[in-house]
Amino acid sequence: MTNTIVHRMVHRMKVTAIIADDLIDTVKEYTQSSTVTDAITIALKEWIDIYNIKKLNKKIAQNPIHINNGQKIRKINRL
């Protein structure tokens, strides 16, 4: 049984941090969150997403795909 209560638990960490009020207010505004916890959670998730995209872009840049004739791909995409 993999769908037990133990497997569905979400691990959370209570954190005390000293962060400038204006920075928290800006994050709450940009994330459209009413609570500090939600705002920071959203901001951190988005930062991680952006970091992962940058990592992937670096990896792709090391071995880019060269397309000599885009017509074949365009035809496939239009199916």
pLDDT tens profile 15-72: 899 999 999 999 999 999 999 999 999 999 999 999 999 999 999 999 888 888 888 8
Contacts of residue 43, defined as CB under 8 A and 6 or more positions apart, other chains included, come to 27, 30, 31
In this predicted structure, the answer to whether residue 1 has a pLDDT above a threshold of 60 is: no
How much is the pLDDT for 65? 81
What pLDDT is attached to residue 72?
A: 83
Quick check: pTM over 0.85?
no
